[in-house]
Amino acid sequence: MSTNPGGGTRLDPWFGSYAGRTHGLRVSETRALFAVASRPEVVSLAGGMPFLDALPMDLIAKVTADLLATQGDVALQYGNGQGHPLLRGHIVEVMAAEAIQAHPDDVVVTTGSQQALDLVTRVFVDPGDVILAEAPSYVGALSVFKSYQAWVEHVPMDDDGLIPEALRQTVARLTGEGRRIKFLYTCPTFHNPAGVTLPVDRRAEVLDICQREGILLVEDNPYGMLGFDGQITPAIRSMDEDGVIYLGSFSKTLAPGYRTGWAAAPHAVREKLVLASEAAILCPSHASQLSIAAYLEHCDWRGQIEAYRGVYRERCQTMLASLKEFMPECSWTTPQGGFYTWVTVPEGVNTKTMLPRATTALVAYVSGTAFYADDQGSRQMRLSFCYPTSERIREGVRRLSGVLAKEIELAALFGQTAASGAAPSHGSAADVTNPAPDVA
Amino acid sequence: MSTNPGGGTRLDPWFGSYAGRTHGLRVSETRALFAVASRPEVVSLAGGMPFLDALPMDLIAKVTADLLATQGDVALQYGNGQGHPLLRGHIVEVMAAEAIQAHPDDVVVTTGSQQALDLVTRVFVDPGDVILAEAPSYVGALSVFKSYQAWVEHVPMDDDGLIPEALRQTVARLTGEGRRIKFLYTCPTFHNPAGVTLPVDRRAEVLDICQREGILLVEDNPYGMLGFDGQITPAIRSMDEDGVIYLGSFSKTLAPGYRTGWAAAPHAVREKLVLASEAAILCPSHASQLSIAAYLEHCDWRGQIEAYRGVYRERCQTMLASLKEFMPECSWTTPQGGFYTWVTVPEGVNTKTMLPRATTALVAYVSGTAFYADDQGSRQMRLSFCYPTSERIREGVRRLSGVLAKEIELAALFGQTAASGAAPSHGSAADVTNPAPDVA
């Protein structure tokens, strides 16, 4: 009897009733990490949780209480599907910091930017349609794309992000095959998981390719304000308002517990997103939206982002120094902001099969395989420096280096298969597989 | 040039890129009512907004502030996709009041019960699959079903709700035609919009039909605790835990601004719902969930529901007395709880074409047509008594009676077509039409 929660069992009386899209749902590689990461003895370099101890909680408590006491009948009532105009106005101000000129009418508030991703995919993607995505890509985006039975085609990156020439070739090949490309999904700034940033000239080039080919560009930018040097690269959306859907979030600049993000979209698309969102959730939470508006009005949000930047800059430095000290046999990216670095381990080591041994050694990361819709990533891992203190980061990398040393030894002794052979058998390879060809 | 936001225009550069499901999205009949209802001079008998002035806002402000000040790092952090165990425990207690025996593991917390409806449909429905629904049905459910290109088959009701014999016949006909019925969607208690309640013996009979035919039953129960006499009819879920997905909500018993509802589902289905929800929103809001948990722990939530009941009982009495006084030529249902009564106007009057004239006369309602996926409902309207005071309700019905009198006069003079001919032409008939036959 299978216990794979994604696959279903004959004991499930509704097994024959599920929709086609449901058969592709699998437990993500990152879900189990929540449980692991919450154990205090484990150093988690896995999650993307912001360091909320940096927030002025007493002040937030006060402005929230004032909001509820004076406008509780509005804050706790239904709202409109597009989001509260007050918050949409603030969002326009926030985006202006990234050189985006937008109007509150362009903005759709969502339940985290994850819902914005869901809505964009829902509105555009029929089963088998192609979505272009960086190699690697955000695991949550891949989950959404799979849930709509999209075909994800990865486009290679280097230390400067997406490679325009590779994009050009991929598009040419796919259009030559008569495939329908619905959009390019990209995280150009402080990429999750790769930690790299697309320079301005490449932004223009990537946008130009999309414009010429009539491909919509979906720009996911949760980390853009978190550059260590305080410099902000202009968003791709600042260069084109008709060809780009921009996704933003308060999860990293304020806090994820409000589940509040947004999409800024071309007019006609925006209207579709609102209709789709009304069907999905009626309206985003007024309580969250107005709490955030109150925070933006009464707290020094720019100063808070500066404080976050300082914390993450220091932790990133520690991470990179620890990698240099303990894991010189690996290579890694050098982030200028955000939460992550992307590490490549020596040949013969498989980061996915190594993970159970790492957690046994009380350190956690995310295997590179989680960030691909195909079979890449087994020599990579994402290490995050956002949540643990610098001391813990150094200790985590030290522990990881011990696990890695044993893996390298094993690989040298028995060859690559020995390390790979220990893979857990519970179907997790399917987590990162594109839909079966019959829907493509 | 068309300005229909659902249909798109040739000026939309992405017009050719949308998914098949997107072409069915239309502005709902109820959306414009938010704008109308917010004008203070209009008496809105349209919306389903709870009367939040009845809430102890100062106390809620205090417990929320305490939560943020003492556990802000948890309340504002990411959570797990199924929902916080603390709140799921409280939800089990709440459901126990409706005779439901459940375990916190059975519960999936969602962004309002609307998202639960979305997830259930996403997990079960392929384009063209049949969903059985009462005639009439909740407009938001119809929006979801349409967005997944389902075929909605209405089953007649009487003053005791869904008619079991009609259900039997509909199922027999559809299965005879080889159609695939995915589930029965029902709101058995204080029905939205009909205001009626399915008695216990009918619940057993409806469940029995579903069990025999292998049809999943989706029980939507946002109003179940709001019976005017304080009596609670046992939920259908209390009779079968493997064949029923129960949808609950805090929107009516506490407040909708938190956007927090839930599904209680059979084990295997629950796992699918969690996976689908993780793809859609990652996780429900910790801020909302823990605020509600704090409210349930520190405030007298049972007493609050009792207070709500008293308010709505009085307003319902006023509504029914006003209908008797001002609109004796109509018939209506007599709710024992909830927010709505369902009014049938004299032959020759069209509630949809009457609506613009009603709003001109400063009273609003929802046309019956909004609650059908086919062309029924033009002689019905939903009147809600939840939000305006008794005085305003009486004034609203008085205004409505004036509008109705003129419509009756017009219908007598020129026949039914005169009244119907004034229908607004901007495509709204399509709002309540099932998907085109090519997907069915």
> Which two structure tokens, joined as six digits, stand for B219?
């029980």
Is there a contact between B62 and A61 if contact means CB atoms under 8 Å apart?
no
Is there a contact between B147 and A68 if contact means CB atoms under 8 Å apart?
no
In the prediction, which pLDDT does B3 show?
Answer: 39
Is there a contact between B279 and A49 if contact means CB atoms under 8 Å apart?
no
Query: Residue A33: which pLDDT band, with cuts at 50, 70 and 90?
Result: low
Q: Which of A122, A151, A182, A428 to probe the B interface (max B CBs under 10 A)?
A: A122
In the prediction, which pLDDT does A23 show?
Answer: 86
In the prediction, which pLDDT does B37 show?
Answer: 64
Q: Which of B4, B10, B12, B14 to probe the A interface (max A CBs under 10 A)?
A: B14
Check pLDDT > 70 for residue A168: yes
pLDDT in tens, B25-38: 877 666 666 677 66
In the prediction, which pLDDT does A421 show?
Answer: 42
C-alpha distances (whole Å) from B315 to each of B52, B174, B309, B384 are 14, 41, 10, 9
Check pLDDT > 80 for residue B8: no
Q: What is the mean pLDDT of residues B243-264?
A: 98
Q: Which of A3, A15, A22, A31 to probe the B interface (max B CBs under 10 A)?
A: A22
Residue of B nearest to A22 (CA): B123
Check pLDDT > 50 for residue A423: no
Is there a contact between B281 and A115 if contact means CB atoms under 8 Å apart?
yes
pLDDT in tens, B358-406: 999 999 999 999 999 999 999 999 999 999 999 999 999 999 999 999 9
Is there a contact between A68 and B68 if contact means CB atoms under 8 Å apart?
no
Token pair 């059908």 in the structure block, residue: B372
Q: Among the listed ranges A15-29, A199-213, B120-134, which one has the minimum average pLDDT value?
A: A15-29
User: Does pTM top 0.90 for this prediction?
Assistant: yes
Query: Residue A433: which pLDDT band, with cuts at 50, 70 and 90?
Result: very low
C-alpha distances (whole Å) from A312 to each of A295, A309, A326, A393, B22 are 22, 5, 20, 12, 41
Task: Please give the interface size between A and B, counted as residue pairs whose CB atoms are below 8 Å apart.
Answer: 286
Structure ipTM? 0.92
Q: What is the mean pLDDT of residues B55-62?
A: 97
- Name the average pLDDT for chain B: 91
> Which two structure tokens, joined as six digits, stand for A102?
């937008």
Check pLDDT > 60 for residue B101: yes
Check pLDDT > 90 for residue A312: yes
Helix (H) or strand (E) holding B182: strand B181-186
In the prediction, which pLDDT does A432 show?
Answer: 32
Question: Nearest CA of chain A to the CA of B327: how many Å?
Answer: 30
User: CA-CA distance, A413 to A43, in Å (whole number)?
Assistant: 29
Check pLDDT > 80 for residue A298: yes
User: CA-CA distance, A297 to A36, in Å (whole number)?
Assistant: 37
In the prediction, which pLDDT does A11 show?
Answer: 81
CB-CB neighbors (< 8 A) of A291 in chain B: 287
In the prediction, which pLDDT does B433 show?
Answer: 35
Check pLDDT > 70 for residue B281: yes
Q: What is the mean pLDDT of residues B99-122?
A: 98
User: CA-CA distance, A11 to B110, in Å (whole number)?
Assistant: 26
More confident residue, A426 or A146: A146
In the prediction, which pLDDT does B29 show?
Answer: 64
In the prediction, which pLDDT does B424 show?
Answer: 37
- Name the average pLDDT for chain A: 91
pLDDT in tens, A65-108: 999 999 999 999 999 999 999 999 999 999 999 999 999 999 99
Q: Which of B1, B68, B299 to probe the A interface (max A CBs under 10 A)?
A: B68
CB-CB neighbors (< 8 A) of A259 in chain B: 111, 281-288
pLDDT in tens, B139-158: 999 999 999 999 999 999 99
CB-CB neighbors (< 8 A) of B55 in chain A: 72-73, 76
* Residue B173: how many other CB atoms lie within 10 Å: 11
Check pLDDT > 80 for residue B108: yes
Q: Among the listed ranges A10-19, A250-259, A416-425, B198-207, which one has the minimum average pLDDT value?
A: A416-425
Is there a contact between B285 and A258 if contact means CB atoms under 8 Å apart?
yes
pLDDT in tens, B395-437: 999 999 999 999 999 999 886 554 444 433 333 333 333 533 3
Residue among B49, B62, B118 whose CB faces A279 most closely: B118
Question: Nearest CA of chain A to the CA of B203: how many Å?
Answer: 21
Question: Nearest CA of chain A to the CA of B316: how many Å?
Answer: 21
Is there a contact between A281 and B61 if contact means CB atoms under 8 Å apart?
no
Check pLDDT > 80 for residue A429: no
In the prediction, which pLDDT does B27 show?
Answer: 77
CB-CB neighbors (< 8 A) of A288 in chain B: 259, 285, 287-288
- Closest by CA to A49, choosing from A59, A62, A36, is A36
Check pLDDT > 90 for residue A190: yes
- Closest by CA to B164, choosing from B130, B141, B198, is B198
In the prediction, which pLDDT does B70 show?
Answer: 97
Query: Residue A435: which pLDDT band, with cuts at 50, 70 and 90?
Result: very low
Query: Residue A220: which pLDDT band, with cuts at 50, 70 and 90?
Result: very high
In the prediction, which pLDDT does B430 show?
Answer: 32
In the prediction, which pLDDT does A25 show?
Answer: 83
